[in-house]
Amino acid sequence: MAVLITGGAGYIGSHTCVELLAAGKEIVVVDNYANSSPEACRRVQEITGKQFPVIECDIRDAEKLAAVFRDYPIDSVIHFAGLKAVGESCRVPLKYYENNISGTVTLLEAMKAADVKTIVFSSSATVYGEHNQVPFKEDMPAGGTTNPYGTTKYFIEIILQDLCKAEPDWSVSLLRYFNPIGAHESGRIGEAPNGIPNNLMPYIAQVAVGKREQLSVFGNDYDTPDGTGVRDYIHVVDLAKGHVKALDRAMQVKGCEIYNLGTGRGVSVLELVHAFEKANGIKIPYVIAPRRPGDIAYSYADASKAKEVLGWTAQKDAEDACRDTWRWQKNNPNGYEG
Ligand code: NAD
Ligand code: UFG
């Protein structure tokens, strides 16, 4: 039997493919390459020495998806496919609602038609919104999202919860990722953003490689120890391993479960800059800029549920992630484009 990986050519998807293969699973990838390159899956095959089917397919294409379920012995799905740029989602919300929500509904219908009822979904800490206090815990009220991207994650969580209420034979795992950073230690796969990076770590990496002059630190007047925003940075390889654990659990337990995947530790913007400098011996020039709209001061996980139930905890720290990011960035200054 095989696991269908939607969005498997993307940043988190490609790392998860490596860990699933290492755990002896069969996988099938679908991706429309809206934000990725076919090269990523070729490199996963190179790293693991294992071949697997990779199909160019948009999850909104019901017929093509049905054919994938017909052609391969799929018994579960890990659903990464989605658009994720927060700023763009504010400019073109319908594109996000259509791709992320319609795409997920089409996928769920295809699963149901094929009698595949186990799904692990990429949700986000963004569903904790603005009103909860850190550390964020799975039983806190979700919602109050500050942008359409975050709202798609919240709505999809509701859709999957409603599905489990109506049809108790589904197994759903909602994984709320905190801030994924880092790269595979081979330096062959990593995060390859198009254009100017929105997120902190890829921006730091592009400053380090000389593609950007300096980092703008968005605000140093938050109520945090050094005034800059605090996040829970989770190494993408740890995150990928969390998916293997969540999938194994979902294969055994019916109903909908929610797990934070984070380290439980908060790191400020300046701490991450200094961790990068220390790990790699490279100075990162920065300026203090105004706050970015929609940002909160603190976001970090209570990571105890994933530890207790899944037996998963993050093993790597921010310095490991900085070292791995730099290895990926310097070997691949233009991402997968050579
Ligand atoms: P990514 O953009 O690298 O990967 C997403 C993949 O989905 C890409 O390969 C893209 O081409 C594909 N895709 C998008 N729309 C598709 C469609 N309609 N049909 C088929 N494929 C499609 O992003 P990522 O960082 O790997 O994130 C994976 C998932 O995790 C996303 O759902 C994202 O929203 C979620 N997530 C990411 C973060 C983060 O900071 N990276 C945080 C929380 C949640
Ligand atoms: N930051 C800067 N300069 C930059 C980029 C970011 O100072 O150039 C700061 C931000 O203000 C924030 C921190 O670095 O304090 C982290 O910002 P990111 O953009 O890297 O990450 P966010 O926490 O804003 O968002 C991430 C994902 C979202 C997800 C959210 C969940 O990008 O998809 O985590 O909390 F929804």
Q: Does residue 135 have a cis peptide bond before it, meaning omega lies within 30 degrees of 0? A: yes
Query: Ligand 2: distance of its center to the CA of 229 in Å?
Result: 9
pLDDT interval class at 218 (50, 70, 90): very high
Residue 98's Cβ-count burial label (10 Å; 0-12, 13-18, 19+) is middle
pTM above 0.95, yes or no: yes
Q: What is the pLDDT of residues 31-46, one digit of tens each?
A: 999 999 999 999 999 9
The pLDDT tens digits of the residues spanning 162-183 come to: 999 999 999 999 999 999 999 9
* Cα(301) to centroid(ligand 2), Å: 15
What's the token pair of residue 162?
């409603």
φ and ψ at 108, to 5 degrees?
-65, -35
Provide the pLDDT confidence category of residue 11 given band limits of 50, 70 and 90: very high
User: Which of the ligands is closest to the CA of residue 82?
Assistant: 1
Residue of 179, 204, 296 with the most ligand 2 atoms within 8 Å of its CB, for mutation: 179
Q: Does the structure show a pLDDT above 90 at 338?
A: no
Q: Residue ranges of the alpha helices (H) in the chain?
A: 11-22, 38-48, 62-71, 86-91, 93-96, 103-113, 148-166, 200-208, 236-250, 269-280, 304-305, 318-331
Which pLDDT score is estimated for 131?
92
- Cα 124 to middle of ligand 2, angstroms: 12
What's the confidence (pLDDT) of residue 138? 98
pLDDT for 311: 98
Q: What is the pLDDT of residue 169?
A: 98
Pocket probe for ligand 2: among 11, 231, 299, the residue whose CB has the most ligand atoms within 8 Å is: 231
Is residue 103 over pLDDT 80? yes
Residues in the chain: 338
What's the confidence (pLDDT) of residue 166?
98
Over 90: is that where the pLDDT of 302 sits?
Answer: yes
List residues with catalytic annotation.
149
User: What's the pLDDT score for residue 323?
Assistant: 98
Give the distance (Å) from ligand 1 centre to CA of residue 292: 22
pLDDT reported for residue 270? 98
Quote the pLDDT of residue 43.
Answer: 98
**Ligand nearest to the backbone CA of 96:** 1
Residues with CB under 6 A from ligand 1: 6-7, 9-13, 31-36, 58-60, 80-84, 99, 103, 122, 124, 177, 179-180
Q: Mapping DSSP to helix (H, G, I), strand (E, B) and coil, where does residue 6 land?
A: strand
Mean pLDDT of the chain: 98
**Residue showing tokens 């019901």:** 62
State the ligand closest to the CA atom of 95.
1
Distance (Å) from CA 7 to ligand 1 centroid: 6
**Which residue from 90, 269, 286, 300 has its CB within 8 A of the most atoms of ligand 2, so it is best to mutate?**
269
pLDDT band at 250 (very low <50, low <70, confident <90, very high): very high
Atom of ligand 1 nearest to the CA of 99: 18
Token readout for 261 is 């995947």
Residues with CB under 6 A from ligand 2: 84, 86, 124-126, 150, 179, 198-200, 203, 215-218, 229, 231, 269, 292, 295, 299
Query: Is pLDDT of 327 > 90?
Result: yes
Specify the ligand 1 atom closest to the Cα of 125. 43
From the CA of 56, which ligand is nearest?
Answer: 1
pLDDT at 9: 98
Calculate how far, in angstroms, residue 221's C-alpha sits from the geometric centre of ligand 1: 32
Residue 110 phi, psi (nearest 5)? -65, -40
Residue 248 has a pLDDT of 98
